Amino acid sequence: MIDRLEILIALARERHFGRAAAALGISQPSLSSGLRTLEDQLGVQLVRRGSRFQGLTPEGERALDWARRIVGEARAFRADMRALREGITGELRLGIIPTAAVRVAALTGPFLAANPRARLAVVTLSSDAIIAGIDSLELDAAITYQITAPARLLRLPLYTEDYCLVEQGGGTSPATWAEAATKPLALLSRDMRNRRVVEQMLAASGAEPVVPRIESNSTLAILGCVAAGPWAAILPQALGEALPLPAGVTARRLPGDGGEAIALVTRDLSPQPPLVAALLAKLR
């Protein structure tokens, strides 16, 4: 049954029969056979039939919710038994928002030091993609905006994200949001939560709506634009402090009321899989 539920999860994620089969390391006929067997066992049609994948039926969507819970628990069970035999071992898949990149080493270092047989795979994603990754079991945990994580997930607050104005020759005195709104801005793209927060802060300052001349989903690309001039950027203060800024570029703190809460997010399981439990123990 677990293998067949894995088929449903992979098909919902890939939305293509061939890619789902490849992801599972099986042939497409084997995938189709396993799916039909699962439908027979459950007594409902899970997938809309056609020459191509056309989506899940309403029954299939309900079954997918159960499949993710059951498979997630089964994986946690196997990992727990392996940890009893071998200790904490294996790969922890961690999603992060781009602006958390400079904090990953400090946040995960104690976990890796305490568990020398553990490995960490870090992938940078938007906050929406992170939640989708946790739901689809592609991620074990994530560092993201707490406000974007549904209440059904476990959320462990880590820090708050404050902001700074990064520009050439800006000096060291604090900046204001109204001042930032007058600059030729290069900002993160709209699919990033950071961009929406920045727009809210600019609007709260009374500034006219800002249309950036440059957008990117990469903080390094944004910094490259600032270095080339004449652009300015609004980035998390931690980036301005941790990254070596290009010559002549300064980071000036912007005011805020505590910033945006960043949290470690994972599925709310009891007990947690050993790798996730070990990470939580070092972060709490």
> Rounded to two decimals, what is the model's pTM?
0.79
Determine contact, residues 99/259, Cβ cutoff 8 Å.
Answer: no
Q: What is the pLDDT of residue 257?
A: 63
184 with 108, same domain? Answer: no
User: What domain count does the chain have?
Assistant: 3
Q: Which two tokens stand for residue 151?
A: 């209440």
Specify the pLDDT at position 153.
Answer: 95
The CATH number of the domain holding residue 98 is 3.40.190.10
Q: What is the CATH number of the domain that holds 67?
A: 1.10.10.10
271 plus 133 within the same structural domain: yes
State whether 129 and 269 are in the same domain.
Answer: yes
Kindly report the average pLDDT of the chain as a whole number.
89
Residue finishing a domain among 78, 101, 123: 78
Which tens digit of pLDDT belongs to each residue from 244-260? Answer: 787 888 888 998 765 78
Exposed (0-12), middle (13-18) or buried (19+): which is 207, by Cβ within 10 Å? middle
CATH of the domain at 252: 3.40.190.290
200: number of Cβ within 10 Å:
11
pLDDT at 99: 84
Residue 239 has what pLDDT? 78
Q: What is the pLDDT of residue 53?
A: 85
Model confidence over 140-161: pLDDT tens digits? 999 999 999 999 999 999 998 8
Mean pLDDT of 58-82: 89
CA distance linking residue 215 with residue 195, whole number of Å = 10
Q: Rounded distance, CA 137 to CA 129, Å?
A: 12
Say if residue 155 is in the same domain as residue 270. Answer: yes
Task: Give the tens place of pLDDT for each residue, 168-181.
Answer: 887 778 899 999 99
| Mean pLDDT for the stretch of residues 52-71 | 90
Q: pLDDT of 1-57, one tens digit each?
A: 899 999 999 999 888 899 999 999 999 999 999 999 999 999 999 998 777 888 899
Q: How far is CA 230 from CA 166, 227, 249, 258, 276, in A?
A: 11, 8, 11, 30, 44
Q: Are residues 178 and 54 in the same domain?
A: no
Instruction: Give the mean model confidence (pLDDT) for residues 159-169.
Output: 89
Q: Can you give the pLDDT at residue 280?
A: 96
Q: Roughly how many angstroms between the first and final C-alpha of the chain, as a whole number?
A: 36
**Which one of 78, 103, 123 terminates a domain?**
78
Co-location of 232 and 175 in the same domain = yes
Nearest residue to 278 via CA among 68, 83, 134, 135: 83
Domain that holds residue 197: 163-257
Identify the sign of the CA torsion 32, 33, 37, 43.
Answer: positive
